[in-house]
Every structure is written in C-alpha cells, then in structure tokens.
Amino acid sequence: MGTLRTMAFQGGILILCTGVIAVLSPGEARIWVLMCAAVAFVLFVVVSMLRRRQIHRLAQEIDEILHTGRSMDLSSYSEGDVAVLSNELAKMVERLDRANRQLAQERNALADALADVSHQIRTPLTAATLMVPKIERAESEEERRHALRDLELSMDRISWLVTSLLKIAKVDAGAIRVERKPVSVAAVAQRAAQPLQVVMDLHDVRFVLDVEDDAAFEGDALWTTEALENILKNCLEHTPPGGTVTLAVREDALACRITITDTGPGIASEDLPHIFERFYRGQGTTHGFGIGLALAQALVSVQGGSVCASNGAAGGARFVVAFPKMVV
C-alpha cells in the first residue's frame, strides 16, 4: 500500500506539472504537450509497476533466505537500482553464510578441544585418585613416600596442563603481552634447560649446549625460555638412556636459528604434518603429542618467529626455532 501511494503521489505531481505547462502553452503546442505528457505518464506507470514487481520479488527472496537459508540467484535481475540492491544483499548473505560456517567449525573444534582436555586431565586425575587408598594402606614409610611422590607427579601434571591451556587461550585471544628487546640466546637456553637437568640425570640423558655468547635476537626472553623448555622436555621424554639432547644456535643475515635435536626414534612421517596440533594422537612410534609443542609454537609465533620439525639425517627428531632479523 505504501508503494502504491507513492506512485499515485508521483503520478499526480506529473499530471499537475503537465497541466500547468499545457495551460501556458499556445494552441497546437498545447496538444503536443498533452500527448507527450500522456506517453510519459504511461511509461512512468509501466516502469513503476515493473520496479514494484521486482522489489516485491526481491522481498520474497529475502524472506525465503531468512527462513530456508538458500542462496540468492541474481540471474533474473536486469541492470538498474534493484539489481544493484540485490547484488549488495547477495554479498551480505554470502558473508553471513561464511560467518555461520566458520562459527560451526569453531564450535566443532571447541567440542573436540574440550574432549581432548577432558581426556588429558582425566588420566593423571584418575592416577591421583588411585594413589590415595594406596597411601592409606602403605605398610612402611618408604612405600608411603613413594606413593606420595607419584601423587605429587600427577598433581604437577594436572597443574601444568591447566596452566599451558590458559596460556594458549591467551595467545589465541591476543591477550598475551610480548616484549621486543635484545635476547641473549645463551642465557635463554640455559634457563630453559635448568629445570630439566635433574630429570636428564635420572634418565641418563646428556645435554649439549652449542651457543655463541654473542648470539641474540629481538624478542621476549620469558616466552622464548618457556617455548624452548617445552621442546627440550619433549625431546627428553623420547630420548633413551645414554642418549643426547643438543641445543645449537646459528646466525646469518636473515635470522637467528635455534636447533634442538635428540637421539631418539624420531618422528613418524605420517605424524610430521600434525606435530604441532593440540592433542593430536600419533599414528606411529613418534614423539608424544599433547599441549607442549602446540604451546611452544604459539609462543614463538606471537613473537614473529617460526618453528618447524623434521628428522635428522642420522636419526632422531630435529626442531628449528627461527627468529627473523629483518622484515622484508
């Protein structure tokens, strides 16, 4: 009804203007003015009705999209303002459709992540639960101390998982604060290896540090230390007794590269593309996947660096952490 009233109003204005011109025109000119006005009025009505029909059809399609989610077809619209409007609406619909698909993917990924987190935490939590009655039934002080140590390890595992997940969540949300200062690679490497020295000694694994004292890059020392510690921990867990974990640093004009290698079984070829995925379940005899390598990659990436994994020529895993010296 609103469109009809608008058309009637515009038509009335046209007739009124034509009548005024006709009254002011001399004899024969008046007839020509009236004839031209009649033709113009007919064309106005026809064009207005066609436009109204197109707008009505476009409104029906929009309503159908809202209720059924189907795609919009622009082939039936000719050039003109209605075609421009329908084209812009189609772009909006496509953008909303992409956003819906992305939300669905993120929802599925969140569900999978929650399931993985639940599985990862449940294992040490179950172990801790079983340790309590074992401690209560301990017949000797030595047996009790051993059970308490196992319980402490399970609690540490749960605490580490929760802390790592929170840090990754901060990285994903862009809420992590990263400093840009000169970082001494030797100092960072020593701090990363220090918490693991006792475990290395217990597992009879030798740690070799091959770093020049002046090796440095622009980044965040704290987060780099944690990233290297996670990679070293992963290598340590998969190095047999008598093996070696090596951290070496090489610099060139483009980047500072920190290479960490071990003498373990290496990474299965089918698992290499997924090595940094969170809670990926490996297919072969390979480095265990959890949250540590994913956190290491996130902490390096947020500084503008990169991490890649491969197998060494002589066997064992090889991780290369690169911090570029310049942006091209």
Q: What is the pLDDT along the chain (328 residues), one digit of tens a residue?
A: 444 445 555 555 655 565 555 555 555 565 655 566 666 666 666 667 777 777 777 777 777 766 666 655 544 555 566 666 777 777 777 777 788 888 887 777 666 666 666 766 777 777 778 778 878 887 888 888 888 887 887 787 778 777 777 777 777 777 778 888 999 999 999 999 998 888 899 889 999 999 887 888 999 999 999 999 999 999 998 899 999 999 999 988 889 999 999 998 888 888 888 888 877 766 554 454 567 888 899 999 999 999 999 998 888 899 999 999 865 4
Residue at 63 is within a domain: yes
Residue at 78 is within a domain: no
Give yes or no: residues 129 and 243 share one domain.
no
Give yes or no: residues 48 and 119 share one domain.
no
CATH number at residue 194: 3.30.565.10
Give yes or no: residues 248 and 160 share one domain.
no
Domain range enclosing 131: 98-172
Long-range contacts from 120-126, C-beta under 8 angstroms, 24+ separation: 120/161, 120/279, 120/290, 120/291, 121/158, 121/161, 121/162, 124/154, 124/155, 124/157, 124/158, 124/161, 125/154, 125/158
Residue at 298 is within a domain: yes
Residue at 15 is within a domain: yes
Give yes or no: residues 197 and 286 share one domain.
yes
Domains contained in the chain, number: 3
